[in-house]
Amino acid sequence: MIIPTEEEINAFNMDIKDFFDTLCDEKKWLSEDLRAIELPLLGGKICDFGCGFGHTTFCLMSILGASEAIGIDIDPNVIKRARLWFEAVKYYIEHSTEEKLSDSEITQQTYLTLGIVKPPEYMVGDVLSGKNLPSGISLAYCRRLLVNIYGGDYTDNLSGIDRTKLAIKNMVNTIIPGGWFIAVEEVSRINFGPFFVEENLCCVKINRYNYKGVLPHDLYVYMKPLIVC
């Protein structure tokens, strides 16, 4: 049995504190994004494209009351770390309570603490190739993903516009009829709205606001119609 040192325990506790501080911050801004369209609780499956370390995925699942959440990122290293958070919070709860709890009780307490019904699933996937993307998504969400794809340094010989259109097409293909697509992007020279319309999505709202009170962002809210005309 490996016994962690006091230094390792303190570092772990700081990581957990940073995790919860980030969740609190993310929930604030996500609530702003979602309140703008008065979204009901979904109870369905959501996907956080470009999820990074997975904080937004947890928050989306909690705020929307989703039954299933998937975080997608092309970087296997960040996905590996995202997958550790649920078990890390379980470990923290187990070792920060004086009660002797069973594993199922610890798991349930972790669900309550995070405001979720099951852990998110994190997968390596590529929105450009369409490889390893989910299906049956009720709500797709991305933040600063399209801007990065448009201006990124790629070797695929595609223009930034064509590359962005391809990414949107592949993400839209994961959404069920009647599902939502929300994108929060830094204001740039490109209006991404027409790219969503090309994929037969209906515009609900495009709104400009200062993300975290400083950076101007555009909020794109689209819905996939039940019947494509």
Q: What is the pLDDT of residues 112-151, one digit of tens each?
A: 999 999 999 999 999 999 999 999 999 999 999 999 999 8
Task: Give the pLDDT band (50/70/90) at residue 31.
Answer: confident
User: What pLDDT was estimated at residue 39?
Assistant: 59
**Which pLDDT score is estimated for 95?**
84
Strand, helix or coil at 93? helix
Which pLDDT score is estimated for 2?
Answer: 56
Q: Does a structural domain hold residue 1? A: no
What does the pLDDT read at residue 40?
57
Instruction: Count the domains in the chain.
Output: 1
Task: Report which residue type is found at 87.
Answer: E
Per-residue pLDDT at 207: 85
CATH number at residue 108: 3.40.50.150
pLDDT tens for 57-112 read 999 999 988 999 999 999 999 999 999 999 999 999 988 887 888 899 999 999 99
More confident residue, 42 or 156: 156
CA distance 160 to 165: 9
Domain, as residue range, for 40: 6-223
Residues in the chain: 229
Among residues 188, 107, 86, which one has the least CA distance to residue 144? 188
For the ranges 6-10, 25-29, 110-114, the lowest mean pLDDT is seen at: 6-10
Kindly tell me if the per-residue pLDDT of 228 is higher than 70: no
Model pTM score: 0.91
- Cβ atoms of 65 and 43 within 8 Å: the answer is yes
Ramachandran angles phi, psi of 217, nearest 5° = -130, 155
Q: What pLDDT, on the 0 to 100 scale, is given for residue 97?
A: 80
Q: For the purposes of burial, counting CB atoms within 10 Å of the CB of 158, is it exposed (0-12), middle (13-18) or buried (19 or more)?
A: middle
Q: Is the pLDDT of residue 38 over 80?
A: no
Q: Which of the four pLDDT bands, split at 50, 70 and 90, describes residue 181?
A: very high
* Assigned domain for 207 exists: yes
Of residues 208 and 212, the one with the higher pLDDT is: 208
| Tens of pLDDT, residues 105-119 | 999 999 999 999 999
Instruction: Tell me, yes or no, whether 80 lies in a domain.
Output: yes
Distance in angstroms (rounded) separating the CA atoms of residues 186 and 210:
9
Question: What pLDDT does 129 receive?
Answer: 94
Does 89 reside within a domain?
yes
Percent of the chain topping pLDDT 90 = 63
Token duo for residue 11: 């570092």
**Residue 138 in contact with residue 85, Cβ under 8 Å?**
no
**Mean pLDDT of all residues in 202-224:** 85
Residue 228 forms part of a structural domain = no
Residues 120 and 57 sit within 8 Å (Cβ to Cβ): yes
